[in-house]
Amino acid sequence: MLKAGSQAPSFSLPDQNGDLHTLEEFRGKKVILYFYPKDNTPGCTKQACGFGERYPQFQEKGAVIIGVSKDSVASHKKFEEKYELPFLLLSDPELSCIQAYDVWQEKKNYGKVSMGVVRTTYLINEEGVIEKVFGKVKAEANPEQMLQELDKD
């Protein structure tokens, strides 16, 4: 995982509509960049819907929410439509951003070891510097946790 105080790695990835986005376009705003394993799985759905339900509160605080997984643009589009998600979902099948943020790691599931995305949330400040890092976050609690972090400023 990357450390707080370090420059957030740049990225250029397509969203659920196929439009490219870079970290630089969000300068001047706080960015909640969260990495999750897979669209339409129970934990990932709870996390995404939690961010969706609280989206107006994040907007009031001037924060941008961006979810990243290795799912395809088409998968993200279905996920967005099914749950009416109001924020960006970036597709990273090549793992370029996922690896740059050091969230592609060994995972153990029922004794089986495999590589995968470790659920991680980064809070990036207006200048593109990582303010806080939350590793192995609890999917359901993460959106509220991030709102509370924004309140600390």
Enumerate the active-site residues.
Answer: 44
For residue 35, give the nearest of 85, 84, 69, 59 by alpha carbon: 69
Say which DSSP state 38 is in: -
Between CA 40 and CA 106 the distance in angstroms is 22
User: Are the CB atoms for 134 and 121 separated by under 8 Å?
Assistant: yes
